[in-house]
Structure 1
Amino acid sequence: MNPLYPIEWAVAWLMVKFHAVLSLFMDPNSGITWVLSIVGLTAVVRTLIIPLFVRQIRASRAMQMVSPELQAVQKKYKGKTDQESRQKMAEETMAVYKEAGASPFSSCLPVLLQMPIFFGLFRVLFNKLPDAAEGKPFGPLTTELAQSASNSTILGNVTIADSFLNSGDGGITTKIVAGIIIAAMCAVTFFTQKSLTMKNMPKAALEGPMASTQKMMLYMLPFIYVITGPGMPIGVLIYWLTTNVWTFVQQYIVIRATPTPGSDAEKERQERINAKRERKGLEPLDFTPPKKVAEPDPEPERNIRVQPTSKNKGGKKLSDEEKLQRAREARAKAAEERRRAQEESGDFPVPPPKSSPLDKGKKKRKK
């Protein structure tokens, strides 16, 4: 049994439903109507995976942000090949991923989920559509609809089932249309990847093996389209181009709203906020993080314990006021000793204690 059968059926059903809606105000036998049906199919698929796309953006950002920490872990265990060192290195690496909320597999989820839909659409346009046009309907794709899709043209005699390698009746026109779509796919993918890896990352994250891999992908992904694109039907290329454009716009919105701290995208956002405030006559905001000033640790105060004496040297009982006065004198003496010690060591001197009203009262009584 074909494992892609449910996906192929769902793809054909969505295409037929969008074609039925567009046929209310467009020519049902026009190639543009079928092209827009594929665009509608793409919009539904990409809308369903929006949460995964946001997760992909965050995962890619987190992966590059932890690149310096991963390099430190690799440097720590460099040259150690024993089993215990490898296990500790793996544990520390996973701890770094967990602390930063990063996952090496999260960035692949949207692509992995779209691959079955991509292959399902390829089989529908490449196999099911010609079979249905010859009298073998496939689910919602009846013979009449299949013949309409096979015979509808976009430019000249180009149909959505033709490809660069199998140009059909379109001839050179089919090759030109397919070449233009493939070139557009490469350009959109290049700028999408560049915006993600260069504009939305701080300079510290643009170094190391992780950044080198991202830069390599910047040029490898468009090259993949050059290799695989010529064998794809025009309809599949339209799906591919639409999803790339969708990704670019979606990523632009996410990066513009929530850029990575320290990146060029964050600086541009701060400039936009201050420009908007300036137009309203408000003062610009200062986004510069405050610098931390190292303050000397305060010396803990020494607890002065006053012995509860009931009698003095002369055998007289001390009053509460005299006990309090003696405790203040002992505390002042200790503070004076600390101040002198700090002056000798070059630290900030502690100001001498101020005289209290009770001291003034004592001086008056002595006079």
Structure 2
Amino acid sequence: MNDNRNLIIAIILSALVLIGWDTAMNTFYPQPEKSAEVVEAVDGPQAAAAPTGAGPAPGSDTSAQAPAASGQGAPIEATQPVRDLDSELASAGRVPIDAPGLAGSINLRGALVDDLVLTRHLATLEDGAEEPVRLFAPAGTEAQYFAQFGWVGSGAQFPDRDTVWKVADDATLTPDTPVTLQWTAPDGTGYAIRFAIDDDYMITATQSVANRGGERIVAQPFGVVNRTDRFADEGTWIIHSGPIGAFDDAVNFDIGYDDLVEEGRSSGNGDVDWIGFTDHYWLSSLVPQSGAEAEADFRSLGNSIFRADLVYQPTAVAAGETLTRSTQLFAGAKENDVLDAYEDGGIVNFGHAIDWGWFEWFERPFLWLLKQLESLSGNFGVAIILLTVIIRFFLFPIAQKQFASMAAMRAIQPKMKAIQERYKDDKQKMQQEVMALYKKEKVNPLSGCLPIFIQIPIFFALYKVLMLSVEMRHKPFVLWIEDLSAPDPAHVLNLFGLLPFTPPALLAIGPLAILLGLTMFLQFRMNPIADPVQEQIFKIMPWVLMFVMAPFAAGLLLYWVTNNILTLAQQKYLYSKNPQLREQALKEKEEKRRKLAEAKGQ
């Protein structure tokens, strides 16, 4: 009776997991209003309202640690999106950017870096589209995201949001041709911003202010990154999305957009190494000049607009002198090799903009090996399979030790039962006799568990590499799988696309998910389970996990399926070398069933 009740409870709990999974995912990890491809292409509908400008400036406060001066030099805020992207980019007064990693333009009005696309990464694979990922978009557009460099201070007239900078007519920012924007204030003060770009994703902005008057001025250079979170990636327990920065040689992943909305402003602890915003695959950050005193913080500006501020200390500039500050702006993909190269070049902890977590020492070698295997095989999916095979090969001795321990434990089971019967009324004596038996037979009951604990960090590290790696994005496998970073696009319910409808997320089961459930079912079936209730649970669980895992990236499912197949082969081999294990398990299973039948018959 109790067994039937337990089985019913297990079935009900499994059904609740199955039905509640989709609801829980939508609750804790809601999807953005638009697909990621649309967001990256920034091809939203035109706004009905007329442009209203960049929005109000914050209140006057030239002594503040962040650039909050009103009017002169104030960083651009923003209001609700009212501007059309194409119209903004078609407007006159832009300096083209043409580099191997980045393309776009600099807006001469306000000296804004507000038009950047990542030429190495496509926004979508649909219909053969060649549209690159758009990272930066002008203020007031639907996906507002830009960088601004300026000054606040006293004693001079500073450039503001409406300042139109001058540049040579044929100027184009390339790795070989830096561009200098210049502006002279009515009071004679001269300002210049020299932009340089490398072959990857780094733009260097060198700000100069020349005091050509007769009195001392106080200037405070700043850089900001301003963006909306309307289309930001959703953060998860292993992927941080939102404000990010390195302070005192440690990367801070603790601040989210919701935290900023609640607190209004948040500062990192210690000296700033770099500060910005991150998504799943993309990053923007400001890196201060080495040796220059600077402070940084994050702000919520309302209307889903957020800002990362990097502000240098106020500096007195005497008549005839020039103040110069150089700030690096990274705007690009979180490619491991690129970030590490910048870190080697002096940007502290830049390689840790990828949230590796506790198992970094496993994850980095796995990613390196994946890329090597991809270069050899020409296919990222094949590389995942090969890496899984390599890992299982090196873990095989551990599995052998686990099976040997299981065999030894099985062999002493009759003696264990005899001790338990003899000392069933004296638990302390029973424990002593059991430990004496372990010592006599040279059996360690924990040795069977140790291999499992060794494998956990290895497999979790591989799982996280596949989740974090931009290198897997848009990489095909075979046949219908064109993007290993996306869920399996084939669904059983619509006959793999033959029927013109998309199944609901709960029922969007593809071939990889089915293979996952099947291989896990066969894996459980190969291991006889004595307890009937546990056996029923293990029969149901693979199919529950099939539904749970179906929405995950195809690359992850490919890894799990490969791992399950290798586990089946490994278990079959080890059982052939230790036949007593399976025989003993089957014997215990039959004995358990017999006792249950006798108990029910009484």
Greater strand share, structure number: 2
Larger relative contact order (Cα-Cα within 8 Å, sequence gap ≥ 6):
1
Structure of larger gyration radius: 1
Relative to its length, the structure with more helix (as a share) is 1
